[in-house]
Structure 1
């Protein structure tokens, strides 16, 4: 049954995981590795370079030791929120580092309209409260600010939610668009295929939406 507004519901069972143990334990050991291959990294940096505002304030959500932000963006400020302090401390582009488990506490620690853009890179599959997190991203974005959610076909399967594991790459884009819709206050999301993948290479996609600029959306 659709929820009010005609949206398909986000049922609790969609966010079950094979490993329901404390995420803080899973992420306690730093992983100073990249989770997509070099070609995908180059494609993502180029895409972010074209999409994100130069000299802007950027939130790197579910961050690690690499943010994939190209140097030419020259951001005024970058905040990274992640699960492992050592990984965040190794990230040279971050001006602020916050260790927080969004599955336990989805409220972001910044005031409204703090950022011009936000990115979530190859991590959205681990969110068990995605609509709440996306709503918080909307809150901390300035009107017109962009939220880019990039994904590939790699993950830690025991920590990925059931809905993600059950869908293919194309349907992952539709799932992320549904998260945006449930959060409210975003313009229509657009999905991009940045890299088709193929034998021995990682595919790469990004779903992008902007915070609506209408008065009263905070």
Structure 2
């Protein structure tokens, strides 16, 4: 792990119960959703609010479904994830890249290539989140939104230690600190979009705008 990229955070915060290669863990496709219908609807609503129609989007840490509004057209949607079978099955992706961000956090895209980006229920698995978020800021156009969503579920063995140590609101603050440390984000919003009344999974979001370093 590149601990320098995550300063000022101690390296121990990014340790995981299972430190075996992530490629092994994600080798078999999982054609399931990791949050329930109510939380998925909340994610889709956020995308409707923040992502421009006909824009070019990056779905980071993507899988077989992107939760984008079915009635909104986008010029191009690019997925980057760990399992090729899942990415190939995603009907919203125009193209995809298979990449382990914990091994290679540099994104294979030109600067200012996208009008928006999403990380859905996956930020807790990044061992170099600051570097990945800095890269996201590079490949987004100025003022483009990044929508990071998460719930109270995870694969415990692959989530970083810092995630296990915090509650839901602590997770919001942690993600905001990652963005601040990346240095090329602003206008950060911390949102609780949990369905009301609470009959489904909670849904939290951190939204920020890309800006120059």
Please indicate, yes or no, whether the TM-score normalized by the shorter chain is above 0.5.
Answer: yes
**Which piece of structure 1 moves more, 128-137 or 180-189?**
180-189
In structure 2, relative to structure 1, the CA distance for the partners of 1:76 and 1:107 (3 Å cut) is: same
**Which piece of structure 1 moves more, 42-51 or 157-166?**
42-51
| Mapped pair 1:156 → 2:155 | yes
Asked if 1 retains the 8 angstrom alpha-carbon contact of 2:83 and 2:98, the reply is yes
What is the aligned residue count?
A: 208
Asked if 2 retains the 8 angstrom alpha-carbon contact of 1:49 and 1:72, the reply is no
Asked if 1 retains the 8 angstrom alpha-carbon contact of 2:38 and 2:195, the reply is no
Shift of 1:42: 1.1
User: For the residues of structure 1 that align with 2:156 and 2:196, how far apart are their CA atoms?
Assistant: 20
Shift of 1:10: 1.1
Shift of 1:51: 1.3
The residue that corresponds to 1:117 in the other structure is 116
The residue that corresponds to 1:165 in the other structure is 164
User: For the residues of structure 2 that align with 1:109 and 1:137, how far apart are their CA atoms?
Assistant: 11
Residues 180-216 of structure 1 deviation map (CA, whole Å, 9 limit, x = unaligned): 011111113101111157776200011000012xxxx
| Mapped pair 1:46 → 2:45 | yes
Asked if 2 retains the 8 angstrom alpha-carbon contact of 1:18 and 1:159, the reply is yes
Residues 87-120 of structure 1 deviation map (CA, whole Å, 9 limit, x = unaligned): 0011000011100000000000000001000000
Asked if 2 retains the 8 angstrom alpha-carbon contact of 1:53 and 1:73, the reply is no
The residue that corresponds to 1:3 in the other structure is none
Asked if 1 retains the 8 angstrom alpha-carbon contact of 2:60 and 2:81, the reply is yes
Asked if 2 retains the 8 angstrom alpha-carbon contact of 1:197 and 1:204, the reply is no
With structure 2 as the length reference, what TM-score do the two structures score? 0.94
With structure 1 as the length reference, what TM-score do the two structures score? 0.92
Structure 2: stretches of 5+ with no match in the other structure:
1-6
Shift of 1:158: 0.3
Shift of 1:154: 0.3
3-state SS in 1 of match to 2:108: coil
Asked if 2 retains the 8 angstrom alpha-carbon contact of 1:32 and 1:65, the reply is yes
Residues 47-68 of structure 1 deviation map (CA, whole Å, 9 limit, x = unaligned): 2111111110000000000001
In structure 2, relative to structure 1, the CA distance for the partners of 1:198 and 1:71 (3 Å cut) is: closer
The residue that corresponds to 2:183 in the other structure is 184
